[in-house]
Amino acid sequence: MAVIFDPLRGRVRPEASHPDAEIIDMLTKTYSDAEWAVLTGAGMSTDSGVPDYRGPDSPPRKPMTIQTFLSHPDQRARYWARSWMGWPRMRGTRPNQAHLALAELSVAGIITQNVDGLHQAAAEAVAADRGNDAGAPAPSPVIDLHGSLDRVICLSNGHLFDRDWVQRRLSELNPDFAEEVGIDPIDVETAPDGDVELEDTAGFAVLDCPECGGLLKPDVVYFGDSVPAARVQAANRIADEAAGLVVLGSSLAVLSGLRFVRTAAKESKPVVIVTDGPTRGDEFADFRSISRVADFVTAWASR
């Protein structure tokens, strides 16, 4: 059996370094909100019902790697069947208090490892709430570091498709599938990637690119894949121009996120980590909170 490297092996959650009130004083009295880059992870969305990978109660999961996805048509059928089944629930998730409070702050930028679109949904909700107040602050830029589940990309030529359109086409191609496997797509438990635990996926018809016949894949970065260079550059620009970094709800097990923490620490910028489990970046944190992110960000936004 293959040995899978556990990036959090041996780590325990550290104590809080300071009370939240002191951390928030530092965030707001020494700096302006616009000086902070914010890096978010799955812990941001657990209160919206999207499970994380590495929370204390998370069951072990084996996410699809890009290599497996490309390896065989059966693997693609498996992925798409599970993803098709999970999309109605995923699409219906709503931003929680943590997203909404963060959307009220004008930070340098939100670099998110999440693929659920909930930062953008929160920004829309906050803007709608403020009405057309001419003096309203501009929303913080959001970089979807690992892509977004609401888009589908063609692997041959980069053609992009709306996920809802692909979902409808898949439903047309597989009219009896849900009934055959005996699952109601709106009544399923969403897994972290918006898919569903489903074993019997043989016979699910996948859709190829209608423009060029290429393979279609949700426009998210799978394990084993790399983040597109332009996206890394946009995120780096935000992190480079910021005075410091705040991490919200991430184990930092994934290197593309941890990198921002390492860089900020190397440049002697303050690093704040708010996550209720151990993280791979704990030794770099100048300020460490183990609170729930919704509580922390609400306190930050309302000081």
- Evaluate the CA torsion angle 202, 60, 271, 126 in order and state its sign: positive
3-class secondary structure per residue, 56-101? CCCCCCCCCEHHHHHHCHHHHHHHHHHHHHHHHHHHCCCCCHHHHH
Minimal distance in Å, beta carbon 67 to ligand NAD?
17
Of 139-168, binders to Zn ion (CB under 5 A) are 154, 157, 159
The pattern of x and - marking residues 127 through 146 that bind ligand NAD according to CB under 6 A reads -------------------x
Q: Which residues are catalytic?
A: 146
* Tokens read off for 141: 């830029």
> 81 or 274: whose CB is closer to ligand NAD?
274
The Cα 281–Cα 292 span in angstroms is: 18
Q: Which stretch, 182-190, 235-243, 265-273, 275-283, contacts ligand NAD (CB under 6 A)? A: 275-283
The Cα 108–Cα 101 span in angstroms is: 15
Of 55-74, binders to ligand NAD (CB under 6 A) are 55-56
User: Any contact of residue 95 with ligand NAD (CB under 6 A)?
Assistant: no
Among 37, 54, 104, 287, binds ligand NAD (CB under 6 A): 54
* Tokens read off for 63: 């996410």
Which of the choices Zn ion, ligand NAD, none does residue 209 contact, using the CB cut-off of 5 to 8 A by kind?
Zn ion
Minimal distance in Å, beta carbon 289 to ligand NAD?
9
Q: Tell how strand 244-248 and strand 216-220 pair up.
A: unpaired
- In angstroms, how far is CA 51 from the centroid of its own chain? 11
* Tokens read off for 107: 């930070």
Of 214-233, binders to Zn ion (CB under 5 A) are 214
Size of the site for Zn ion (CB under 5 A): 7
Hey, is 143 helix, strand or coil?
strand
Size of the site for ligand NAD (CB under 6 A): 29
Kindly list the residues in this chain that would bind ligand NAD in the complex (CB under 6 A): 41-43, 45-47, 50, 52-56, 113-116, 146, 192, 249-254, 275-277, 292-293
